[in-house]
Amino acid sequence: MATCPIIQEREGEWTSNEMIEVLSFRIPAFFLSGSESPQVLCDFITNFQTKPDDVFIVSYPKSGTTWVQEIVWQIYHNGEISKKVLGDRVLFIEKALLPESTHLDITTMPSPRLFKSHLPYDAIPKGTDDAKTPCKYIYVARNPKDAAVSSYKFMASFGTNGMNAPWEFYAKLFIEGKTVYNKWNDHVLSWWKHRHDPNVLFLKYEDLKKDLQSNVRIISEFLNKSLSEEVINLITEQCTFKGMMKNVQSFLLGGKVEGPKFLRKGMVGNWKEHFTPELDERFEKEVLEKLKGSGLEFDFEL
Ligand code: A3P
């Protein structure tokens, strides 16, 4: 465990998962192996030099990052399916200093380097020469009600991160921005403001659910990777929830069957099974009202 101040929210007997603060947002404490201080990770992220053909797949946690990573990987590999764990194919930048990540050496990774991140726009690595040679960022946003439930289920499935809180407590922390990566609305808006930048593609989880094929095409065009209709169709079929479940061992945390899983329900509207009318009212008022005037809207059921 990291030798730095651990943040853990408490209410009576209930505790949140253990977090640390890096660049003024919270990340899971286990993102540091114990030997590094948060400053080492801050410096690593701040000084990270991007290359023009790097691609970052970014989201607020539990918004479809795994899904888009797999689509992007298949786009670059013409619809091939890999048995390798996704984390060994796409490097999670905030976990890059963990010993388990060192086999993906950033300096020798083949181009294009694919990265996963949950960083807000201002903190994402851009490289000092960014204006001349910007890399690409694909951001995926998901309605916050489903993202919150998914996040709770994921955190609760660790069993070892200090969290023993029920959903009501976790939902309250989510609204207040006291979970990992702080407030959902600040995060999505930080990227939404850059949606028209030529090197940013802003996607929504719900749109992928509505029409995956069009989104596979949009992503491949954004990456300047021209694919035949046949390959687009193949990737679409292989990247449905059902398709990805056929290769589920690739989407387990650290490849461990008994650990947290990146594929759970894969639906829009699961929040309805977990929200009381009071909680729904709080989300509408304290999370969604913050989007007013931005033009950013979400589907909450399909
Ligand atoms: P649920 O927990 O609601 O099922 P992330 O990859 O950012 O951690 O997000 C995980 C969420 O994306 C999980 O949501 C997971 O089931 C969902 N997901 C992953 N692949 C998917 C796919 N092919 N289709 C739909 N949802 C998918």
Q: Tell me the best of 60, 67, 157, 212 to mutate to test the pocket of ligand 1, counting ligand atoms within 8 Å of each CB and taking the most.
A: 67
User: Could you report the per-residue pLDDT of 129-148, keeping only the tens digit for each?
Assistant: 656 778 999 999 999 999 99
- Please check whether residue 6 lies inside any domain of the structure: no
Whether the per-residue pLDDT at 34 is higher than 70: the answer is: no
pLDDT at 1: 45
CATH code where residue 202 lies: 3.40.50.300
Q: Does residue 9 form part of some domain?
A: no
Separation in Å, CA 289 to CA 18, 123, 214: 29, 24, 30
Q: Is 118 a catalytic residue?
A: yes
Catalytic residue among 118, 187, 194, 196: 118
Ligand 1: does its nearest atom lie under 6 Å from the Cβ of 270?
yes
7 belongs to a structural domain: no
Would 18 be classed as within a structural domain?
no
- 21 is a domain residue: no
Tell me how many domains the chain contains.
1
Q: Is the CB of 40 under 6 A from ligand 1?
A: no
Report the share of the chain in percent with pLDDT over 70.
Answer: 95
Domain assignment present for residue 258? The answer is yes
User: Does residue 221 fall inside a structural domain?
Assistant: yes
- 118 in a domain, yes or no? yes
What's the whole-model pTM score? Answer: 0.96
pLDDT computed for residue 114 by the predictor: 96
Domain that holds residue 283: 49-291
262 lines ligand 1 (CB under 6 A): yes
Give the range among 107-111, 118-122, 139-143, 160-164 with minimum mean pLDDT. 160-164
